[in-house]
Amino acid sequence: MHLGWVALLFYIDWQNWLLRQGVLVPQQQDNFWPLALLANLLDSALFYFNWLLMPRLFRRGRLGTYLGLLGLGLVAFCVLRIGVSYAFDEVRVQGESQPLDYYVHVLQAYYLQLGGAILLLSFFIGLAGDYWRELRHRRALEQQHLRTELALLRSQLHPHFLFNTLNNIYSLTLHASPQAPEAVLRLAELMRYQLYESADDLVPLAREIGHLQSFLTLQQLRLPTASGDADEAIDFRMLLPPGISHTLLLPPMLLLPLVENAFKHGDLTARPHVVRLVLELAPTDGQLHFTVRNRVSPETATPGGVGLANLRRRLELLYPGRHALVVTANTQEYAVRLTVPVSIS
């Protein structure tokens, strides 16, 4: 519909131009609107003629055929527009009607320009439409690629976590520890969460905290207990407003790799704390901050590994330019601070 209005404006502008030049004598009003309607239909027909040719010829590289048909269409447009003008006796000089050759002489240049402008308008609108369709298609492919890559990264968390946890349980069974059955039960709970309860793109923070606490309980079973303070070796502080953890949403399995990394590469004999965890919601910017600190094990030269690299990639995909993962390491302590925005359910 808007293209028809554009064509009508072209026609009215031409009428005004002729009136200013003293060529056109205004007709009776009942002649103007039929002429305007036919002119509008012809302008729109030329527009859509090019619109339909572009996908069939221009986009397929058949440029010669495309230009040839456009030339024929432009000639036909000029002939029909001149014929309509002549049929409605549109142009008079000193109140007298003019022969057809006079119409051709006066109007052919204008209609060639008008037709060329309509074809250019159709061509560039078609190109703009192709560009936006290609852009939407590219974005859809990128989103599909991101979803596929995120699914792959999340699937890699399961065997990585399972491998480390089985090693922990294996160390308990080697020493015939009575805590081994409880460790297996805790592992079953963790795997149930990872396989069935974390399939959504976002989960409540409370669910992630519960999963994290189960993991900490499992890790506590393998801490040395000779000093009698293994129960206090894990310091986990949550600085959150009451009840807010049930309304905040974040991607599943986002916090665990940092804690897992601390136990894998940290010094489990360190006291008073093997690992210190702080989870807080910043009151100023509403972002979630998670800090993990652990003593460096003497056998670990460079803390980190697959889990941390995996987490970095997930953050780049989930929060491009909107997250922070700061690592501070020295010969005694390894600290990681994660900052991400959270959604509200």
Q: What is the 3-state secondary structure (H, E, C) of 27-42?
A: CCHHHHHHHHHHHHHH
* Res. 148: pLDDT tops 90: no
**15, 68: one domain:** yes
**What is the C-alpha to C-alpha distance for residues 99 and 121, in angstroms, rounded to an integer?**
32
**192, 315: one domain:** yes
Q: Tell me what the mean pLDDT of segment 7-21 comes to.
A: 52
Q: Give the phi and the psi of residue 155 in degrees, each rounded to 5.
A: -70, -30
The per-residue pLDDT for range 263-295, each reduced to its tens digit, is 888 888 888 888 999 999 988 888 999 999 998
**What is the C-alpha to C-alpha distance for residues 115 and 79, in angstroms, rounded to an integer?**
11
Strands (E), the chain: 92-93, 96-97, 203-204, 234-239, 248-250, 275-281, 287-295, 324-329, 333-341, 343-344
Q: Give the phi and the psi of residue 42 in degrees, each rounded to 5.
A: -65, -40
Residue 155 domain-assigned?
no
Residue whose pair of structure tokens reads 């941390």 in the numeric block: 308
Residue 196 domain-assigned?
yes
- Among 85, 113, 136, the domain-final residue is 136
* Res. 19: pLDDT tops 60: no
Closest C-alpha among 156, 155, 77 to residue 117: 77
Residue 22 domain-assigned?
yes
* Spatial CB neighbours of 312, under 8 Å, sequence gap ≥ 6: 325
| 294: CATH | 3.30.565.10
Residue 144 domain-assigned?
no
Q: Which two tokens stand for residue 250?
A: 């974040």
| Mean pLDDT score of the chain | 77
Exposed/middle/buried for residue 234 (C-beta within 10 Å: 0-12, 13-18, 19+): buried
The range of the structural domain enclosing residue 282 comes to: 177-344
Q: How many domains does the chain have?
A: 2
What pLDDT score does 186 carry? 80
Determine which of 24-28, 43-47, 131-135, 139-143 has the lowest per-residue pLDDT on average.
24-28
**What is the C-alpha to C-alpha distance for residues 199 and 107, in angstroms, rounded to an integer?**
70
Q: Is the dihedral angle over the CA atoms 296, 297, 301, 306 positive or is it negative?
A: negative
Q: Letter for the amino acid at 239?
A: L
Closest C-alpha among 72, 80, 134, 89 to residue 111: 80
* Res. 225: pLDDT tops 70: no
Helix, strand, coil abundance in the chain, percent, nearest 5: 60, 15, 25
Residue 23 domain-assigned?
yes
Residue 147 domain-assigned?
no
**188, 263: one domain:** yes
Closest C-alpha among 149, 159, 253 to residue 199: 253
Residue 148 domain-assigned?
no
Residue 212 domain-assigned?
yes
Prediction pTM value: 0.57
Element (H, E) at 69: helix 63-87
What pLDDT score does 29 carry? 44
* Res. 128: pLDDT tops 70: yes
**128, 272: one domain:** no
* Res. 69: pLDDT tops 80: yes
Q: Which two tokens stand for residue 151?
A: 């699914």
* Spatial CB neighbours of 236, under 8 Å, sequence gap ≥ 6: 212, 213, 216, 277, 279
